[in-house]
């Protein structure tokens, strides 16, 4: 019997949202999103073109597509989180 192959669409597992969300968690998530563009730039700066054009899984996006696509949309995601943060009735 062979073990079941991992689902490469979810390399760290499927998302499971927290049951309760606090204001501190929201603040931390907003900070994470704000730092993401700089973190991505640092992570991909030393990569060669061959590495940038390597998909993270068979049939998946390349590092270049994921990283540069996210860098171009950095403010949009942070704006959405801030908008939800200010109207989120479940945060305590």
The CATH superfamily holding the domain 23-87 is dinb family like domain (1.20.120.450)
Q: What is the pLDDT of residue 76?
A: 56
Q: What angle do CA 16, 19, 20 make, to 5 degrees?
A: 130
pLDDT band with cut points at 50, 70 and 90 for residue 77: low
Per-residue pLDDT tens over the stretch 15-50: 888 899 999 999 999 999 999 888 988 988 999 999
What pLDDT shows up at residue 53?
Answer: 93
Domain ranges in the chain are 23-87
What pLDDT score was predicted for residue 29? 92
For residue range 66-76, list pLDDT tens digits in order. Answer: 877 655 554 55
């Amino acid at each position: 019997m062979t073990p079941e192959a991992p689902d490469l669409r979810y390399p760290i597992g499927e998302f499971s949202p927290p049951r309760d969300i606090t204001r501190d968690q929201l603040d931390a998530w907003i900070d994470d999103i704000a730092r993401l563009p700089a973190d991505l730039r640092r992570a991909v700066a030393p990569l060669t073109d061959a590495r940038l054009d390597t998909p993270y899984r068979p049939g998946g996006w390349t590092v270049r597509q994921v990283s540069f696509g996210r860098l171009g949309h950095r403010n949009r995601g942070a704006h959405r989180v801030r908008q939800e943060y200010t109207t989120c009735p479940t945060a305590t």
